[in-house]
Amino acid sequence: MEYYEIDGGIPLRGEYEVRGAKNAALPILAATLCKGGIHEIYGCPEIGDVHTMIEILRSLGAAVEWSGDCICVDSRFLTGTAVPPQLMSQLRSSVFLLGSLLARTEEAVICRPGGCRIGSRPIDIHIAGLQRLGFDVREEGELVAAAGRCRGGRIRLAYPSVGATENLMMAALSGSGYTVLENCAAEPEIEDLQGFLRSCGYRVYGAGTSCIHIEGGRGLHDAMYFIMGDRIETATYMMALAGTGGDGILTGTQSVYVSAVTEVLERMGAQIKNHEDRIQVTCRGRLKSPGTVITQPYPGFPTDCQPQLMSLVTCAEGTATIREEIFENRFTHKKDLMKMGANIETCGKNAIIKGVGSLRGCPVRALDLRGGAALVLAGLMAEGTSLVRGIEHIERGYEDFAGGIRKLGGNIEKKITETKKTDESADETADSDSGNRGGRSFSGITPV
Ligand code: UD1
């Protein structure tokens, strides 16, 4: 079993180049199936979730090659329209295959990417949207089979779900109707998906606003596309710099996408200098409480940065309230932060954190991706040595996190230990972003 060993208390300094965005790479890789062709996607981060998405594409007949940061997908010859359940259960984003397979083959079978540790994460908005666009959707237990062509029309999402917006954008490419999606999520990664689809010759407009227009029809070209920098990775490193009293520069990213995080860090006393493609973070002295921070859909404070912010405020002067409005179970990092000396009380959606002078290093365990990143930040801020276990969660979403932190002068090593798997550790390593309800065969349902 691998873990990180961190000697905390060192202010981070230096320069780090942010990788391509996980949350753009995953839907775009799924979207390479929409138009059969040879697509080159540059800037792909080498993370666990991308490896799983590649396995899914291969299982459907695509030929995939990975060279440097470029993934080349040859999707001309597909052999299946059902995503294998064991792969579905490893990756929440496998749900995007519903939209991309419908766009290409007018049929798709997936397994519900069910339960997880940060919330229930249903896909009812995806399914209701498909039905309202004219697709025949059948659900049987954990399986969801959809078929047909988009008839177009104007539909309104019940909530601006990122995944449902992206899935419906892709599904709406099938047929020849004109679709208007209202109350869409406006996350920048949705604009990146639109950028890829337009590179293929599809007519999609409006992503990045709450209203997206899609003209059905076939794609025209093979695409070469460069993925945007990861704004969540950017924000994580910004918070690592601020939390350790450091001074560093992040390149390969755009400050406009992290403005909500910047505003909170400035309120806490960090100095942020924004340039077009790089961000400088400097912090001297103890951070101050930011007051109340509420997670919200973009452009609000991102839920994917809430755990890391909680680590920061544990040591800030004063009391802070963090309210998690997106996911109902996203304080999984609280227990270990308290083990390190933090003073945190939670009540429903709210966490009230009283700043303590310092944290002390100790063994902790990541239970999900961003909660794991938060524990690494806490380890960097703490006095003494921390061991962070469960790093497979962290490496699903951060490319070489330990290497990145080391580049900034942090004392972190990835180590391996031989550990007998106990019932407890087997339970705790359940994937946070993915369902564990897969495993049923497709025997009871055939692609329609
Ligand atoms: C995406 C991101 C994830 C981020 C999240 C919110 C990707 C690959 N993942 O996840 O990192 O944390 O946005 O910014 O881009 N909901 C429903 N029914 C649905 C769909 C969603 O009730 O059909 C609820 C969810 O349970 C959650 C909220 O809506 O409470 C937001 O979910 P959503 O925006 O869909 O997040 P994801 O696309 O899963």
Q: Is the CB of 373 under 6 A from ligand 1?
A: no
Query: In the chain, how many domains are there?
Result: 2
Domain shared by 41 and 11, yes or no: no
User: Is residue 429 included in any domain, yes or no?
Assistant: no
Domain shared by 160 and 237, yes or no: no
Q: Is the CB of 396 under 6 A from ligand 1?
A: no
State the catalytic residue, choosing from 34, 116, 200, 283: 116
User: Is residue 422 included in any domain, yes or no?
Assistant: no
Q: Is the CB of 159 under 6 A from ligand 1?
A: yes
116 is catalytic: yes
pLDDT band at residue 230 under the 50/70/90 scheme: very high
CB 330 within 8 A of CB 308: no
Query: 138: how many CB neighbours lie within 10 A of its CB?
Result: 12
Locate 228 and state its tokens. 């945007």
Please tell me the pTM assigned to this model: 0.93
Atom of ligand 1 at shortest range from CA of 126: 23
Could you say which DSSP state residue 288 is in? Answer: B
CB burial of residue 387 (10 Å; 0-12, 13-18, 19+): middle
CA dihedral 347, 302, 207, 192 (to 10 degrees): -140
91-148 confidence digits (pLDDT tens) = 889 999 999 999 999 999 998 875 446 777 889 999 999 999 999 999 998 899 999 9
CB 216 within 8 A of CB 210: no
Q: Is the CB of 225 under 6 A from ligand 1?
A: no
User: Is residue 440 included in any domain, yes or no?
Assistant: no
User: Is residue 425 included in any domain, yes or no?
Assistant: no
Rounded Cα distance between 231 and 191, Å, is: 13
Specify the residue with its C-alpha closest to ligand 1, atom 22.
122
Domain shared by 31 and 61, yes or no: yes
Ligand 1 center to 162 CA (angstroms): 6
Domain shared by 53 and 155, yes or no: yes
Single-letter amino acid, residue 367? L
Q: Is the CB of 434 under 6 A from ligand 1?
A: no
Ligand 1 center to 121 CA (angstroms): 7
Distances (CA, A) of 40 to 177, 213, 426: 28, 25, 38
Atom of ligand 1 at shortest range from CA of 121: 26
159-217 confidence digits (pLDDT tens) = 999 999 999 999 999 988 999 999 999 999 999 999 999 999 999 999 999 999 999 98
Domain shared by 176 and 248, yes or no: no
Ligand 1 center to 172 CA (angstroms): 20
Q: Is the CB of 119 under 6 A from ligand 1?
A: yes
Domain shared by 186 and 54, yes or no: yes
Q: Is the CB of 435 under 6 A from ligand 1?
A: no
311-336 confidence digits (pLDDT tens) = 999 999 999 999 999 998 899 999 99
Q: Is the CB of 130 under 6 A from ligand 1?
A: no
144-171 confidence digits (pLDDT tens) = 999 999 999 999 999 999 999 999 999 9
Dihedral sign computed on CA atoms, order 117, 143, 110, 149: negative
User: Is residue 437 included in any domain, yes or no?
Assistant: no
Asked if the model's pLDDT at residue 419 lies above 60, the reply is no
Specify the residue with its C-alpha closest to ligand 1, atom 25.
121
Ligand 1 center to 14 CA (angstroms): 34
Specify the residue with its C-alpha closest to ligand 1, atom 13.
162
Domain shared by 26 and 164, yes or no: yes
Ligand 1 center to 387 CA (angstroms): 30
- Of the residues 207, 226, 245, the one at which a domain ends: 226
Atom of ligand 1 at shortest range from CA of 187: 14
What is the structure's pLDDT at 441?
30
| Domain interval for residue 307 | 2-19+230-417
What is the structure's pLDDT at 413?
97
CB 102 within 8 A of CB 135: yes
Specify the residue with its C-alpha closest to ligand 1, atom 8.
23
Mutate to test the pocket of ligand 1, among 159, 298, 433 (most ligand atoms within 8 A of CB): 159
Ligand 1 center to 258 CA (angstroms): 19
User: Is residue 209 included in any domain, yes or no?
Assistant: yes
Specify the residue with its C-alpha closest to ligand 1, atom 38.
163
Q: What is the average pLDDT across 68-77?
A: 96
CB 220 within 8 A of CB 226: no
Q: Is the CB of 53 under 6 A from ligand 1?
A: no
pLDDT band at residue 442 under the 50/70/90 scheme: very low
What is the structure's pLDDT at 429?
34
Q: Is the CB of 167 under 6 A from ligand 1?
A: no
- Of the residues 226, 245, 270, the one at which a domain ends: 226
Q: Which residue has the higher pLDDT, 357 or 362?
A: 362
Domain shared by 320 and 201, yes or no: no
Domain shared by 290 and 375, yes or no: yes
**Of 275, 269, 273, whose CA–CA distance to 252 is shortest?**
275
Ligand 1 center to 143 CA (angstroms): 19
What is the structure's pLDDT at 420?
57
Mutate to test the pocket of ligand 1, among 131, 162, 306, 433 (most ligand atoms within 8 A of CB): 162
Distances (CA, A) of 227 to 72, 189, 307: 13, 9, 25
Locate 335 and state its tokens. 């227990």
Domain shared by 49 and 157, yes or no: yes
CB 41 within 8 A of CB 32: yes
Q: Is the CB of 93 under 6 A from ligand 1?
A: yes
Q: Is the CB of 73 under 6 A from ligand 1?
A: no
Burial 362-372 (b: 16+ CB within 10 A, else e): bebbbbbbbbb
Query: 281: how many CB neighbours lie within 10 A of its CB?
Result: 22
Question: If you average pLDDT over every residue of the chain, what do you get?
Answer: 91
What is the structure's pLDDT at 92?
87
Ligand 1 center to 207 CA (angstroms): 17
- Of the residues 209, 226, 243, the one at which a domain ends: 226
Domain shared by 47 and 12, yes or no: no
* Distance from the Cα of residue 386 to its chain's centroid: 25
Domain shared by 138 and 69, yes or no: yes
Q: What is the CATH number of the domain that holds 282?
A: 3.65.10.10
Ligand 1 center to 269 CA (angstroms): 31
User: Is residue 431 included in any domain, yes or no?
Assistant: no
240-287 confidence digits (pLDDT tens) = 999 999 999 999 999 999 999 999 999 999 999 998 789 999 999 999
Rounded Cα distance between 192 and 211, Å, is: 15
User: Is residue 122 included in any domain, yes or no?
Assistant: yes
